[in-house]
Structure 1
Amino acid sequence: MADTWLIVGLGNPGPRYETTRHNVGQMVMDELASRRQAAFKQHKANARVAETWLRPGAAKLVLAKPNSFMNVSGGPVAGLARFYGTDPDHVIVVHDELDIPFDTLKLKTGGGHGGHNGVRDVAKALSTPDFHRVRVGIGRPPGRQDPADWVLDPFSASDRQTLPILISDAADAVERIVEHGITAAQQVAHAPKG
């Protein structure tokens, strides 16, 4: 049987949050599903799920968008991991990252949560931090804006020009982790641009 990978885009539910910085992980799930004409359906683990394949005959991809709020993402992720029999080394969490400049990706496996409450909750629910992360840089807020407000704002008009490329790059990184492993994916994602 083909490997099954659980790929989770963190975010907040509902139209109010759809276009916010905090939901960039879910935007990446939409891109991965769109590439495969896969549709999201409600799952009993409190998430919307699209089951698809990397490509015919290759790894199975379970693309997931939790219905819970960001800070309590762990329950749906752990529920899906149990349902699909997916170990943490086959879980990829895609999320926004304040400490990485906008339009930059960083990939890692394990380690701390860097103050990201969604990642913290997933690590707690899986009983390990040893899952893969695709960290999508959203940058820090300008001036004195509270980071909590910043992540819940939509992307700026200038950022929206570049956002589709960033989302596409993040989707490519997910596919590369599944097909070639984290190290190979890091070498591409972390290479200087231009």
Structure 2
Amino acid sequence: MRQKRMAVAAAALSLALGGCGYNQIQQLDETAEQAKSNIGVELTARNQLIPNLVATVKGAAGFERGTYTDVARARAGQLANAEAGLNQARAQTQTAVESKDVNQLQQAEQAQTRAIGTYLNIAVEAYPNLRATQNFTALQDQLAESENRIAVARRDYNEAVRNYNTYIRQFPQAITAKVTGAQRKVPYQAPAGSEQAPTVNFGDSAK
């Protein structure tokens, strides 16, 4: 008899939780957290392209040193500083991904994008033939694809956050949210210019 009463009580509790939106809140929360995690995955993937980029540029620097000595010397300091900026952005991205904090992810993405663009612009000005090499062309494509995947991940996260935030403000879910401590989630603020097609400036001004 006791087991039967417990079973009835458990069923009643389940129905009550379902009726007040508790289960849906948990599901929407999990969806948003997974979407945020996907942003970190894509930023990490772009981070992993940076060493290949630096290696490709340094390879071109060695190949073109005889022909572009003056240009290479003039840009050497700038390129070294830009590489240091890349390394700093990589470290910042790794920290942000580990933190799972939206603000840190936003700042890391901006720093990463800016560092890559700066390095590429200086590199193609110093070594004009770089843009014609197969490895560099492949990296351009990979970086552009990565930028697109990051944009998709941002969009998916913001959609999940919007669904979650809207749901917990409705009645009676708002009561459940207050009782359980469910808080409004912060949307992801994309970098300026992201409303346009994602692009990376590969030094076209040096043509």
**When the two structures are superposed, what TM-score results if normalisation uses the length of structure 2?**
0.24
Q: Which has the higher contact order (CA 8 A, sep 6+)?
A: 2
Higher alpha-carbon Rg: 2
